[in-house]
Amino acid sequence: MNSVGEACTDMKREYDQCFNRWFAEKFLKGDGSGDPCTDLFKRYQQCVQKAIKEKEIPIEGLEFMGHSKEKPEGSS
């Protein structure tokens, strides 16, 4: 599966591999501590943010860097 930003696909795959491993081997077994993928995620995010701005994708009210957000209301 590709990224929305073509340039980000490799970073995305690296992050996905790291996440999937942590998810299956740690998180689902009850160990939610110590996310080893933070650096990969940051790099990947920078790329995705840039692609989203360039493609003018209308993401509403999403705080990055860890705040949980309410689902936005339906239509504009």
Summarize as ranges the residues that interact with other proteins (CB under 8 A). 1-5, 8, 12, 15, 19, 23, 27-30, 32, 35, 41, 44-45, 48, 52, 55, 57-60, 62-69, 71-72, 74-76
Return all residues near 12 (Cβ < 8 A) that are at least 6 apart: 2, 3, 44, 48
Q: Indicate the SS3 state at residue 36.
A: coil
d(CA 74, CA 59) in angstroms, rounded, equals 12
Q: How far is the CB of 67 from other proteins (least distance, A)?
A: 8
Q: How far is the CB of 39 from other proteins (least distance, A)?
A: 14
